[in-house]
Structure 1
Amino acid sequence: MHNTEYGKPLTIQDNGIIFLRPSHPESRIVQPFLSQFSQLIKTPEGLHIYKLSSFSVWYALELGITITEITNFLAAFSQGEIPEKIIQLLGQWGERAGVLSMKSLSKRGPCLVSAKDELLEKLFPERKSEVFTCESGEALTVSSEERGELKRILMEEGYPVADHLGIDKGERLKFKFQEEINLRPYQTEAAEAFLRNNGGNGFIILPCGSGKTVTGLGIMEKVKEATLIIVPNETALRQWRRELLEKTTLTDKEVGIYTSERKEDKPVTITTYQMLTYRNPRTGKFPHFQLFYERNWGLVIYDEVHLLPAPLFRIVSNLQGKRRVGLTATFVREDGKERDIYSLVGPKKFEISMKELENNGWIAQPVCREIKVPFSEEQWENYLKLKKRERFRYASENERKLAVLEQLIKKHRNSQLLIIGQYIAQLRRIAEQFQLPLLTGQMKQAERDQLYTRFRHGEVQALVLSRVANLAVDLPDAQIAIQVSGTYGSRQEEAQRIGRLLRPKKDQEPVVFYSLVTPSTQEEDVASHRQLFMAEQGYIYEKEEWSQCSMLS
């Protein structure tokens, strides 16, 4: 029952914009389902703003949600009538989701099949003479080489394609988990969801700290075929290798790494996006692309799939006959290329929220605090003299943040602490002032690994980290993170940095993520955008203004 004193929590416009009042008593009930079929785009004071799109609705349909359920939900929780235009759009998106498919027809082989007459002729007028009638409607013969590219083009045209052409068998790989290793229920569920109905492609969304790597191992264990694993950096590469050797019966002879220093071709091979996208400056070719064809891979895993580089899209397009799984904590790309990954890697197969994991004790409870650190009058004068593109960095490197940082370090002197930032000069100054080790991309991998190990063992209490630590760094004992500066509006980065804290803690104490922000500047505007991911997960940033008298209690 709705509380008449508050009205209803949603307001929907005919352009697909949906306003949610987070202060409404029913917002906690409404928000989880709303985020399943729409995307959070802004969080101004006292309001969450979502956007409906064909893309977001198709995601929901892949999860088994129906257009009727979406329509009934909006009708139940929205002020006033649902705009007729929205009802029409939802109906159109629902209809288009089931129109096109790829399947093998007897005597014809692989075909693009349309349940709607004359659609193929409209979409491919140059191939009109090739269209023929079949039992399911109309069809067009396609080659395996164009399978991926056609799906990408048709997605752009507003028609997602259901691919039923099947999956090629890969080279067999016998192994199992070590006896003491048990997957968590949601990790097993994610692996089963990926493989359901002979599934062979798609991506899985699991929050940082929830064990994406182990979920990937769970899929490998079920498929039992040669696997190529592509990761964002060498730290992640070594973490995957360590997990494979520690948690399964696979050995050194079966697990290889493909880097600039070691180019191993083994039944399980791990490499990086950077390695595969290296282009020879003389020939203009990508010499390491051949890794995709050196073995009969049965499974390709894209770790942090939201980072999939554009040069790999073409190769991904040619791998439609392989099982492909993308793992990520947040399926958001600032370049808007989610649509390409959807069509080339596959649709969303499984997702679980941070709140659900937190409530079951699988991840730590994060407390997010934004501390506003105002400029002095002199700083304001300097800021206003700068060109627009220079202001963000100046505000990010606000010198007064150092006083706040000093207080926070003292306050949490008994906790394992990470100080994270974007600008090396700022981080060097912090490391020197507080006598802390600094990790950057220039540091050799062996030195980084050594510092991470010392931190895990409690020999080092605090680390100063550049962007090198955003991805795939397993620091389970970290309790506090202080972000002194961030990338220009990257929602993934905020989620990844908070993820450094989310491994469950022995005492079940909440972990704290501080973000130091200069108010009334470009940095504050950008920070609100970075916080969208956490807001969508149902978390609120506690905001306070720092003063020199503040004890940050």
Structure 2
Amino acid sequence: MTDISQEAFHDALEDVGRPVATAEQVARVLGCTQAEAADALAALADDGAVARADVDNDPVVWYPRDWLELTDRERVVPFPGRREVVVDQPEQFTRAQLSRFAHLEDTTRTGSYRYVIREEDVWAAPFDALEDLLAAMRRVLPRECPGLEDWVEEQWTRATRFRLRTHDDGYVVLEAKSESLLGNVAEQKLAEDVLRAPISDTEAWVAEEKVAELKRTLYEAGYPVQDDRDLDTGEPLDVDLDLDLREYQQDWVERFVDASSGVLVGPPGSGKTVAAMGVLEAVGGETLVLVPSRELAAQWRDELLAHTSLTREQIGEYHGGTKEVRPVTIATYQTAGMDRHRHVFDDRKWGLIVYDEAHHIPSEVFRRSADLQSKHRLGLTATPVREDDKEMDIYTLVGRPIGTDWDALFDAGYVAEPEVEIRYVPWTDDDARHEYAAESGHTRRRLAAENPAKDAEAEHLLGQYPDKQALVFVDYLEQGERLAERLDAPFVNGETRHARREALFDQFRTGALDALVVSRIGDEGIDLPDAELAVVASGLGGSRRQGAQRAGRTMRPGGQSLLFVLATRGTEEEDDARSRMRHLSAKGVRVTESGSDRV
């Protein structure tokens, strides 16, 4: 007799697309006779796993006795024509694998995830060969999708159609795979002053100051450009790293050195800065580190002094507070992009440029400094997502992503996987709800964000975990002051003097403080301490990057880390909260939802 397991029966139901099936349908799916299927299903019924019912148009239909067993199972449904994948109740492995070649477009409260495979997802996929990418897709998708694979192969090939190289005489050349590509794509899409003159049917002389514009334009036209120019290598600089790299960090360094450019993408706590120092050691050239703030510049200086052989005399800072150019110079994006300072950086030949917090690069204020190029360009970011959908500019200006599956780092214990819960909080009373309903725009959003019922919920959560140090995040000063008073905790915000801020952070790190309330300044750019518990009382709309940054405060290894995101029930905050957590969901972090009745 054919043996049909309960799992195989569930698979057959999914293939049939209905919650019930006849023995004939099950037999067709599983490749056995109708009689064998009927006998096997009867055996399952005897075991209590399957039930049967007689119907008019067929002697018997079969269905799971426990419907929950079917609804709780992971179900992956590809839509090749739309290049979409819908996953119900996905496992962590599935979410992590999909994040390598697809973009999480939407999630629902019922646990359904919708992914879209875009051109840029294929171009930026972290695989060395097309076969590796296709193998990753086949591990996740339940059936072969030849049309989708053909499209992926076409996109992968597009990423090799154009190449920049340096001519023997020193100028930059754009090289196309065919005469048609040069004439009908490059010459048609690029501004007249980008290409100076043709060299051959497939080559053209490029204006060197227009290289970044060329790369962006062709990228937008669907053709990412390989950058193989002989760029500056800088003066040699001997640097020894005083730390042992983890296996995946060493892999990052080796992959970067092979490619000469790239963006390290990894969760908070994975040691991207340490890996960058490993790159600095491997490259051995004078280095420019670009950061978004003076606080981060100071942090970089301290890390380099603590973990490398570099001396104070070899490290300089260049920003509004001080202006020193040394073999390793740490500058802010804004200062480096200013006309009156630009020549300082253009005149020096850098062997390595590090773009920290690289997700800032597409913004207009930082883009000019990102045009600084060297042979080795290294970006660092935990969250390359941007709400203006320009995250692919990061890879255009710096290089392709280099990363490790988040779930692999969670499993190895290098990074703590947080328990993330979105908690829906009611209004304190009907008057508050009616006031919200009567308003619109920013006032309406702010009323939901500052709902006083969140104060009681935050207090409850900190009381529920008294042994955990907690960070409470807010986006509004009045709310922060109110929460700080209720929780008897200091409030750190933009008006807090630097010395006072650092003193409070040090007290938190040493355990002298159990809780801190922190405004938006804690999202990035300052050396905010890590916590075991984080409560997001209000957030910046649906900013996925802000959500991931705040979750990152709990993602250091050791102990159980908890993140609670509070949203006012029945308001647009519900969707905003889910959107802010979408990046974590895509990376394999399970996000749950619950309600609260505290007021």
Task: Give yes or no for TM over 0.5.
Answer: yes
1:189 aligns with 2:251: yes
The structure-2 alpha-carbon separation of the partners of 1:19 and 1:174, relative to structure 1 and needing over 3 Å to count, comes to same
CA distance in 1, matches of 2:140, 2:552: 35
The structure-2 alpha-carbon separation of the partners of 1:340 and 1:14, relative to structure 1 and needing over 3 Å to count, comes to same
TM-score, normalised with respect to structure 1: 0.88
Report the 3-state secondary structure (helix = DSSP H, G, I; strand = E; otherwise coil) of the residue aligned with 1:325.
Answer: strand
Aligned to 2:275: 215
The structure-2 alpha-carbon separation of the partners of 1:451 and 1:547, relative to structure 1 and needing over 3 Å to count, comes to same
- 1:287-312 Cα shifts (integer Å, max 9, x gaps): 33334225322111111100123233
Cα distance, 1:368 vs structure 2: 0.7
Amino acid aligned to 2:77: L
CA distance in 2, matches of 1:251, 1:91: 49
CA distance in 2, matches of 1:519, 1:330: 28
Q: Is the 8 A contact 1:205 1:329 kept in 2?
A: yes
Report the 3-state secondary structure (helix = DSSP H, G, I; strand = E; otherwise coil) of the residue aligned with 2:99.
Answer: helix
Cα distance, 1:145 vs structure 2: 2.1
- 1:373-404 Cα shifts (integer Å, max 9, x gaps): 01232221011000133222111111111111
Aligned to 2:586: 536
Report the 3-state secondary structure (helix = DSSP H, G, I; strand = E; otherwise coil) of the residue aligned with 2:219.
Answer: helix
Cα distance, 1:192 vs structure 2: 1.2
Alignment equivalent of 1:234, drawn from 290, 294, 319: 294
Q: Is the 8 A contact 1:120 1:131 kept in 2?
A: no
Aligned to 2:567: 517
Amino acid aligned to 2:252: A
1:55 aligns with 2:91: no
Aligned to 2:24: none
TM-score, normalised with respect to structure 2: 0.82
Cα distance, 1:477 vs structure 2: 5.3
Amino acid aligned to 2:269: G
Across the two proteins, how many residue pairs are aligned to each other?
A: 524
1:427 aligns with 2:480: yes
Aligned to 2:452: 399
The structure-2 alpha-carbon separation of the partners of 1:175 and 1:87, relative to structure 1 and needing over 3 Å to count, comes to closer
Question: Which deviates more from structure 2 when the two are superposed, residues 488-497 or residues 289-298?
Answer: 289-298
Amino acid aligned to 1:16: R
Question: Which deviates more from structure 2 when the two are superposed, residues 227-236 or residues 469-478?
Answer: 469-478
CA distance in 1, matches of 2:140, 2:273: 39
Aligned to 2:490: 437
CA distance in 2, matches of 1:293, 1:188: 31
Cα distance, 1:518 vs structure 2: 0.8
The structure-2 alpha-carbon separation of the partners of 1:238 and 1:320, relative to structure 1 and needing over 3 Å to count, comes to closer
CA distance in 2, matches of 1:535, 1:76: 16
Greater RCO, 1 or 2 (C-alpha within 8 Å, sep 6+): 1
Aligned to 1:354: 406
- 1:22-64 Cα shifts (integer Å, max 9, x gaps): 25xxx4443333221111011112211111111001112x522
The structure-2 alpha-carbon separation of the partners of 1:69 and 1:537, relative to structure 1 and needing over 3 Å to count, comes to closer
Q: Is the 8 A contact 1:43 1:528 kept in 2?
A: yes
CA distance in 2, matches of 1:153, 1:535: 32
The 5-angstrom pairing of residues 25-424 of structure 1 reads 27-44=91-108, 45-60=110-125, 63-66=127-130, 69-70=133-134, 73=137, 77-78=141-142, 82=145, 84=147, 86=148, 89-106=151-168, 109-123=171-185, 124-125=187-188, 130-133=197-200, 138-178=202-242, 181-196=243-258, 199-276=259-336, 286-308=339-361, 309-317=363-371, 319-348=372-401, 350-375=402-427, 376-424=429-477
Cα distance, 1:95 vs structure 2: 2.9
Amino acid aligned to 2:96: P
Question: Which deviates more from structure 2 when the two are superposed, residues 120-129 or residues 307-316?
Answer: 120-129
Question: Which deviates more from structure 2 when the two are superposed, residues 464-473 or residues 379-388?
Answer: 464-473
- 1:233-259 Cα shifts (integer Å, max 9, x gaps): 233222211111111121211112223
Report the 3-state secondary structure (helix = DSSP H, G, I; strand = E; otherwise coil) of the residue aligned with 1:207.
Answer: coil
Q: Is the 8 A contact 1:364 1:501 kept in 2?
A: yes
Question: Which deviates more from structure 2 when the two are superposed, residues 304-313 or residues 2-11?
Answer: 2-11
CA distance in 1, matches of 2:345, 2:507: 36
Amino acid aligned to 1:542: T
Report the 3-state secondary structure (helix = DSSP H, G, I; strand = E; otherwise coil) of the residue aligned with 2:237.
Answer: coil
RMSD (CA atoms): 2.6
CA distance in 2, matches of 1:150, 1:479: 46
Cα distance, 1:87 vs structure 2: 5.3
CA distance in 2, matches of 1:526, 1:406: 23
| Structure 1 gap segments, 5+ residues each | 278-284
CA distance in 1, matches of 2:263, 2:96: 19
Q: Is the 8 A contact 1:370 1:542 kept in 2?
A: yes
| Structure 2 gap segments, 5+ residues each | 1-6, 16-74
Question: Which deviates more from structure 2 when the two are superposed, residues 229-238 or residues 486-495?
Answer: 229-238
Q: Is the 8 A contact 1:475 1:501 kept in 2?
A: no
Report the 3-state secondary structure (helix = DSSP H, G, I; strand = E; otherwise coil) of the residue aligned with 1:118.
Answer: helix
Amino acid aligned to 2:291: V
Alignment equivalent of 1:14, drawn from 71, 81, 96: 81
Structure index of larger Rg: 2
CA distance in 2, matches of 1:539, 1:169: 40
Report the 3-state secondary structure (helix = DSSP H, G, I; strand = E; otherwise coil) of the residue aligned with 2:349.
Answer: coil
Cα distance, 1:544 vs structure 2: 1.6
Cα distance, 1:118 vs structure 2: 1.8
Q: Is the 8 A contact 2:212 2:397 kept in 1?
A: yes
